[in-house]
A = this chain, B = another copy of it.
């Protein structure tokens, strides 16, 4: 039942227009208020045409999520590529992420909606990004560039930071700037202000650093040596 892939160049164009339009419409009005008619009208094709290429609303949504995922990861990977070390890589990665968020409001809105619309797609999105992070962090830890942090935990921590900072200084700023539903346009595109960005990166840099701070009162049953990878060498702190 999955609709056949288009067999002609014309079909390919139509399909692509539909995905683009869907991204636009989902971002603009949200999954639930998006209707197939809105999508097809935006794409300039007939309603029935939609069902030539997609099984339904959910299917095109998943495809849009996948598409966006591919694109953010590409943007982040590209930005990170030339970085001389992990911290610079993080700076570049966050920069790229915020820029992408600013320029593609769709990413943010659509991914967050996916949580309730298509949990599988949602998990896929985060899982793939996490994988990239883990790879980089594992290498950085091995080379001593960063401290002895658990790459998986650190990955989620970093994503959390990116997500809420992006929400506050990119999304909200944009919303405040336009103050209404008017199309944002390139001029309205907001990026995280430099000082905030530096604050954030400072936090991250310290958080990842090979530093351990002394903490004595083990309440709650959790002791410093609960896990194996928080090793003793952390004691040579001040």
Contact = CB atoms under 8 A, between A and B. Distances in A.
Interface string A136-174: 000000000101011001101101111111001000100
A215 interface: yes
Contact of A202 (B32, B156, B215): B215
B220 A150 contact: no
SS class of chain A's interface: helix, strand, loop or mixed?
helix
A149 B202 contact: yes
Interface string A212-238: 110101111110101111110011011
A30 interface: yes
B150 A156 contact: no
A36 interface: no
A206 B211 contact: yes
A184 interface: no
Identical subunits present:
4
12 contacts: A32-B32, A149-B199, A153-B196, A160-B162, A160-B164, A194-B221, A194-B222, A194-B227, A195-B230, A198-B227, A205-B215, A206-B211
B88 A217 contact: yes
A163 B126 CA distance: 13
Interface stretch (A15-23, A66-74, A111-119): A111-119
Given A112-B112, A162-B160, A235-B238, A207 B213 contact: no
Interface band, chain A: 35 or more
Contact of A203 (B154, B162, B168): B154
A218 B194 contact: yes
Nearest to A29: B116
The 10 closest A-B pairs by CB, nearest first: A195-B227, A160-B164, A207-B207, A160-B160, A203-B207, A153-B199, A194-B222, A194-B226, A160-B161, A32-B32
Given A87-B230, A150-B196, A196-B227, 11 more contacts: A30-B116, A87-B226, A145-B228, A156-B168, A157-B165, A194-B218, A198-B222, A198-B226, A202-B212, A202-B213, A202-B215
